[in-house]
């Protein structure tokens, strides 16, 4: 299948740096259309807007939605709150303030109009965490969230546990990996994706990939990207209230990088606060299954329940 067409818009400036978003427009243009913010994965340190699953994008376009796939600044030069989270929150503000509608009008011949009462957030892995962060800490949260196996419950002992099944080469020096801090400006694209439709194995000759995957394997990623450990600022599980947006979670039962128990706990907290929510446990799937799933498969149909959930809110 050909990838759906998109255009790039600039939603934020940091000094001279432009931070962009890929805008995908549906063919149906006769009324206001819901907006889905689709945030890539990559452990907050890797990936780009191009590394989202295009079959999921097409599925959402077929529903008549506008799909936004943003880039955001990558850790560790900026921390999790001031980089990825703030950028995604500024993207949401740009949508609410009419920036998306202006760019559609100025860039395309399309007559599609964003419905800012139906702005949804979706993401895979770290993108799921960032989607959840659009449900709190903002003047106006999104109308609904779909989180696919996003990290949460950051005070859990798992986040400081080594992952021996993540193989990294011996002999990678700190001085080599710390070259990531020399990148200027802070990059908004980097390395391979841990998500999307896979771009191949990691390249450990790239300091950024070596840095990220070594920190993951050693259980030190959160220390590297959010050293203050003020989890109240960044952890959705600590920010659930009865006002939190409707939320759907999908998670593989065999996830070896973000255990499903973390999402089950988030789901419990959502239910305890009376939030409209749902969860789909995907049998036998490991982390990043969105990279490999085939349209029409059991996994594909089970993960579509999250988009059905958002559509039911419309």
Give dist(CA 126, CA 299) in Å, integer. 20
pLDDT in tens, 43-56: 999 999 998 999 99
Give me the domains of the chain, ranges plus CATH numbers.
Answer: 6-312 (3.40.50.1820)
pLDDT at 308: 98
pLDDT at 119: 98
Q: What is the mean pLDDT of residues 91-106?
A: 97
Give dist(CA 145, CA 142) in Å, integer. 7
pLDDT in tens, 140-189: 999 999 999 999 999 999 999 999 888 888 888 999 999 999 999 999 99
Sign of CA dihedral 294, 290, 19, 146: positive
User: Between vectors from CA 31 to CA 25 and to CA 32, what angle results, nearest 5°?
Assistant: 70
**pLDDT: which is higher, 314 or 23:** 23
Is this structure's pTM higher than 0.85? Answer: yes
pLDDT at 150: 97
Q: What is the mean pLDDT of residues 218-236?
A: 96
Q: Tokens for 56?
A: 């999921």
pLDDT confidence tier of residue 62, bands split at 50, 70 and 90: very high
With a cut of 80, say whether residue 28 has pLDDT above it.
no
With a cut of 70, say whether residue 3 has pLDDT above it.
yes
Calculate what percentage of the chain has a pLDDT beyond 90.
85
Residue whose tokens read 């020096």: 173
pLDDT at 280: 97
pLDDT at 204: 86
pLDDT at 171: 84
Average pLDDT for the chain? 93
pLDDT confidence tier of residue 32, bands split at 50, 70 and 90: very high
């Amino acid at each position: 299948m050909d990838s759906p067409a998109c255009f790039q818009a600039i939603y934020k400036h940091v000094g001279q740096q432009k931070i962009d978003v890929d805008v995908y427009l549906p063919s149906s243009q006769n009324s206001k259309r819901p907006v889905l913010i689709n945030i890539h994965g990559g452990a907050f340190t890797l990936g780009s807007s191009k590394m989202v699953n295009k079959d999921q994008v097409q599925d959402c376009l077929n529903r008549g939605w506008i799909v936004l796939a943003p880039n955001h600044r990558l850790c560790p030069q900026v921390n999790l709150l001031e980089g990825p989270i703030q950028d995604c929150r500024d993207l949401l503000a740009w949508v609410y303030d009419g920036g998306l509608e202006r760019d559609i009008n100025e860039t395309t011949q399309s007559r599609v109009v964003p419905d800012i009462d139906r702005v949804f957030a979706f993401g895979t892995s770290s993108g799921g965490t960032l989607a959840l962060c659009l449900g709190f800490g903002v003047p106006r949260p999104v109308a609904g969230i779909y989180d696919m196996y996003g990290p949460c419950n950051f005070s859990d002992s798992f986040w400081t546990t080594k992952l021996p099944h993540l193989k990294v080469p011996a002999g990678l020096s700190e001085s080599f990996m710390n070259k990531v801090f020399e990148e200027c400006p802070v990059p908004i694209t980097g390395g391979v994706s841990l998500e999307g439709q896979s771009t191949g194995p990691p390249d450990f000759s790239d300091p950024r990939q070596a840095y990220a995957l070594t920190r993951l394997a050693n259980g030190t990623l959160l220390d590297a990207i959010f050293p203050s450990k003020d989890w109240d600022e960044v952890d959705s599980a600590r920010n659930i209230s009865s006002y939190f947006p409707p939320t759907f979670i999908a998670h593989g039962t065999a996830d070896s990088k973000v255990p499903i128990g973390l999402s089950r706990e988030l789901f419990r907290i959502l239910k305890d606060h009376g939030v409209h929510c749902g969860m789909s446990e995907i049998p036998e799937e490991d982390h990043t299954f969105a990279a490999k799933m085939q349209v029409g498969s059991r996994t594909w149909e089970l993960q579509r329940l999250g988009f059905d959930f958002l559509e039911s809110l419309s």
